[in-house]
Amino acid sequence: MHRTERLYTLQCTDSELDRVSRRLREIKASLGETEELRQARLDLEEAEKALHKLQARLRDLELENAGLGDKIKANEQRLYGGTVKNPKELTSLQEENAYLRRRRSHLEDVILEVMIEVEEAQERADGAQKHLTQVEEQWRVEQERLTAEQAELQDKLHALQERRQTLRAAVPPDDLEIYDDLRRRRGGLAVSILKEGICQGCQMSLPSSKAQQARQGDVLVFCGSCDRILYAR
Ligand SMILES: [Zn+2]
């Protein structure tokens, strides 16, 4: 293998390592609970809270209504039972009865309204539950996919690291120094392919003499524009 070819092979391995490491970092950030999942759970909690509040209100109203019914019953027994003879007392009982019936009629209207509200709140809670189930299912599938990808990439990472070590061991220390320095300064890309006289690292056209030199591969030829080591296949 020529000097430049060795560096180019090392560059390919390093670039792949960079890509794998980047993806692993992305996966790590995506593992765990998502904002969407947290929000869906919160929405359900709130919908259930609202539903329970309305259900409690309805129970209270129904209890009140039952109490009112008992009162009306007792009142009517006295009114029509024949035990009360005093006209004044009878009038008073009639008035109370009319008042109680008005109250009950109003209460029944309120109960109907609250029943509709309970029904709507139940629908919202059911919807929120359905949404949460969907989000959880999607999340679970996604987490499984990410975990599998992570395991696969970790294996790849180890293989690439080993390959990198082997490749580096075969490169002269001086070349390695130049290579590492260029990688640092040039966004991870130290070796650039020279294709049809154009440096693929910076897209600059190079003189044909340089291209020829690069093709020989036994001396390091640098791009005049981006400084990268040129590799001509
Ligand atoms: Zn260049």
Name the DSSP letter for residue 229.
E
Distance between first and last Cα of the chain: 12
Residue 91 Cα to ligand 1 middle (Å): 108
Whether the CB-CB separation of 144 and 152 falls below 8 Å is answered with: no
Distance, CA of 195 to CA of 179 (rounded, Å): 20
Distance (angstroms) between ligand 1 centre and the Cα of 8 equals 14
Q: How much is the average pLDDT of 126-153?
A: 98
Does residue 233 carry a pLDDT above 90?
no
Say how many Å lie between the CA of residue 48 and the centre of ligand 1. 63
Provide the angle, in degrees to the nearest 10, between the axes of the packed helices 3-30 and 173-185.
40
pLDDT band of 217, cuts 50, 70, 90: confident
How far is Cα 188 from Cα 186, in angstroms, rounded to an integer?
6
1 has pLDDT over 90: no
Distance 162 CA to ligand 1 centre (A): 29
Gap from CA of 23 to ligand 1 centroid (Å): 27
Q: Does domain 31-169 have CATH number 3.40.1010?
A: no
Look up residue 176 and give its two tokens. Answer: 């390695």
- The pLDDT, as a whole number, for residue 18 is 98
Tens digit of each residue's pLDDT (9 = 90 or more) over 28-51: 999 999 999 999 999 999 999 999
The tokens describing 17, both together, are: 């390592």
Q: Is residue 82's pLDDT more than 90?
A: no
CA–centroid distance, 50 to ligand 1, in Å, is 65
Domain coordinates of the chain in residue numbers?
Answer: 31-169, 172-231
Instruction: Report the chain's mean pLDDT, rounded to a whole number.
Output: 96
CA of 207 to the centre of ligand 1 (A): 12
pLDDT in tens, 150-194: 999 999 999 999 999 999 999 999 999 999 999 999 999 999 999
Ligand 1: centre distance to CA 1 (Å): 23
Query: How many Å separate Cα 137 from the centre of its chain?
Result: 12
Which residues have CB under 8 Å from 64's CB, separation 6+?
Answer: 107
> Quick one: pLDDT band at residue 85, thresholds 50, 70, 90?
confident
Kindly state the DSSP code that residue 99 receives in the 8-state scheme: H
- Residues 152-166, buried b or exposed e (16+ Cβ, 10 A)? ebeebbeebeebeee
**Amino acid residing at 11:** Q
Radius of gyration of the chain from Cα atoms? 41
| Separation of CA 211 and ligand 1 centre (Å) | 12
Q: Three-state SS for 137?
A: helix
Name 117's Cβ contacts closer than 8 Å, sequence gap at least 6: 54
Q: State the distance from the centre of ligand 1 to the C-alpha of 201, rounded, in angstroms.
A: 5
Q: 18: CA distance to ligand 1 center in Å? A: 20
Distance CA 92, CA 87 (A): 9
Ligand 1 centre to CA of 3 (Å) is: 19
